[in-house]
Amino acid sequence: MRIATLLLPFIVASCKQATQNEKQISALKRQADSIATVSQMILLQNVAGAIQKGGIDYAVEFCNIQAMPLTDSIAEGLNVYIQRLSDKNRNPANAIKTQADSLAWKKIKSKKADFIEQHNNGEVYYYKPILIAMPTCVKCHGGKSDIAESTQNSITQKYPGDKAVNYKMGDLRGMWKIKLK
C-alpha distances in angstroms, 88 versus 20, 75, 139, 176?
38, 23, 16, 14
Helix, strand or coil, per DSSP, at residue 169: coil
CA distances from 17 to 2, 20, 41, 44, 181 (A): 24, 5, 36, 40, 20
Q: Which residues contact 85 (CB under 8 A, 6 or more apart)?
A: 94, 95, 96, 101, 105, 174, 175, 177
SS3 119: coil
3-state SS, residue 167: coil
Asked if residues 94 and 83 have their Cβ atoms less than 8 Å apart, the reply is yes
The radius of gyration of the chain's CA atoms, rounded to the nearest angstrom, is 21
C-beta of residue 115 within 8 angstroms of C-beta of residue 107: yes
Beta bridge partners of 127: 115, 177
Distance between CA atoms of 38 and 138, rounded to whole angstroms? 22
pLDDT tens for each residue of the chain, 181 residues long: 455 455 545 544 555 555 768 888 888 899 999 999 999 999 999 999 999 999 999 999 999 999 999 999 999 998 999 999 999 999 999 999 999 999 999 999 999 999 999 888 989 999 999 999 999 999 999 999 999 999 999 999 999 999 999 999 999 999 999 998 7
Q: What is the pLDDT of residue 83?
A: 97
CA torsion angle 52 172 86 29 (round to 10): 100
